[in-house]
Every structure is written in C-alpha cells, then in structure tokens.
A and B are shown apart, each in its own frame.
Chain A
Amino acid sequence: LAKTTQPISMDSYEGQEVNITCSHNNIATNDYITWYQQFPSQGPRFIIQGYKTKVTNEVASLFIPADRKSSTLSLPRVSLSDTAVYYCLVGDGGGSQGNLIFGKGTKLSVKP
C-alpha cells in the first residue's frame, strides 16, 4: 500500500476555503485516492474518492495532478463544524484483504 504524507495540522477561519495536500509518491496504477473525515470519538466518514483529474461532490473537491503523486482535498467555505481530522488513503482495495492503512491525518481547526 502506498504511504501517504500530510501536514499534521492546519488552521483556518470560518468562510475560508481550505486545501489539504497529501503526497503519495509511490502510488500504483490501480490505486484510488480516498479521503475520510473523523470527529472526536466517532468513526471516520467517507468524504470523496478519485483516480485522476478532478472530482467534486456536495461536500468537497479532490484535485489530482497527472502524475498522481499527490492530491489536494478542497473544502469550500469551511465552518466550525468542519473541525476534524482528515485522512488521505491510497490503495487498490483489490488486494487479498482490501484493508486500509491510516496515516496520521491532518487536524483541521476552524476558528470563528
């Protein structure tokens, strides 16, 4: 499974756009990039997934450059409730177990 590197923490203010970048230099051809959000004392929640270029849903956008060695999660106009830990995961899921290996994640703090 490809190893990922994210900033440990980020600070933002309400209403701002937040971009969290994840590096995954040894991403494999079959790997998808998936982002999860976790609030304290809760299980992670799926945010968005992509393979290449740009993906957008009602919550976020995911930008993936052509070489796929990094990806950027973009949260538009964050609010206090977006304060959470965000995990970037890379894998194909088609392995024998399809398990996910979580890195340290990025702790986003949104201030009023």
Chain B
Amino acid sequence: GAVVSQHPSWVICKSGTSVKIECRSLDFQATTMFWYRQFPKQSLMLMATSNEGSKATYEQGVEKDKFLINHASLTLSTLTVTSAHPEDSSFYICSARDTGVPNLAKNIQYFGAGTRLSVL
C-alpha cells in the first residue's frame, strides 16, 4: 500500500526558533499534499494544501508567513514553523493523495505518522 513518511516524529525546540517537518510519499507521486494540526482530544484541522510547483493554499486563520510550505517535488512537501511559540505546540500530520489513481473522486489520502512539536 501507499506509504507516507513524516519526519521528525517528535521535536522539542526553544521559543523563537524555526522547525522544519518533512512529508514524503515513498511509493507514489503526489502533486497535492495536505497539512493538518491536531490538538489533544480534538479532531484534525486542515491547515493548508500543498501543491507541487505552486504556492500552497492556506485555510482561513492560518498564517502563511508563520507556516511556510514548500512542495518542491512530486514526493516531498515541507512545513516550516517559523519563530515557534508555545501555542504552536501541537501534533502536525501530513497526508498525500495518489494522483496516479485514475478516479480522483475516490480521494483516498494516506497519512504520515505525525510530528509532535513541543515549544518551550
């Protein structure tokens, strides 16, 4: 099955530093990847849609200058949390859709294992 690798799985950083999270589709190409954030005991909240070769689309209320997204290839998207603060501490999850599937209407997405970010 399709595998999405997310790295790192866990990161602790000091307030004011930047953290980069990588999301890779290992055995398929993904022109579109998605970034979610999940707070404890809550559901996943879509932050942005990452498009290969173009600018990401951010959901309302998500600061694009704070959460930088780069989708430089068909298998890699990165999310950089810039100048992180304690309120950015959360569980970040990426997903990718296999655009090689003929029927995109089925829209099965494959998720990474998530990254636990703790900002001190």
A interface residues, Cβ below 8 angstroms from B: 30, 32, 34, 36, 41-46, 49, 87, 91-94, 97-105
State whether the Cβ of B108 lies closer than 8 Å to any Cβ in chain A.
yes
Classify the interface of chain A: helix, strand, loop or mixed: loop
Of the four ranges (under 10, 10 to 19, 20 to 34, 35 or more), the interface on chain B belongs to 20 to 34
| Bound Cα distance A93, B109 (Å) | 10
Instruction: Find out whether the CB atom of A34 lies under 8 angstroms from the CB atom of B91.
Output: no
State whether the Cβ of B44 lies closer than 8 Å to any Cβ in chain A.
yes
Q: Can you report 29 residue pairs joining A to B where beta carbons are below 8 Å apart?
A: A32-B105, A34-B106, A34-B107, A36-B111, A41-B91, A42-B113, A43-B6, A43-B93, A43-B94, A43-B112, A43-B114, A44-B44, A44-B111, A87-B43, A91-B107, A92-B105, A93-B105, A93-B106, A97-B32, A97-B49, A98-B97, A99-B34, A99-B46, A99-B49, A100-B34, A100-B109, A102-B44, A102-B45, A102-B46
**Inter-chain contact count A-B, CB under 8 Å?**
68
* Chain B 21-53 interface mask (CB, 8 Å, partner A; 1/0): 000000000001010100000011110010000
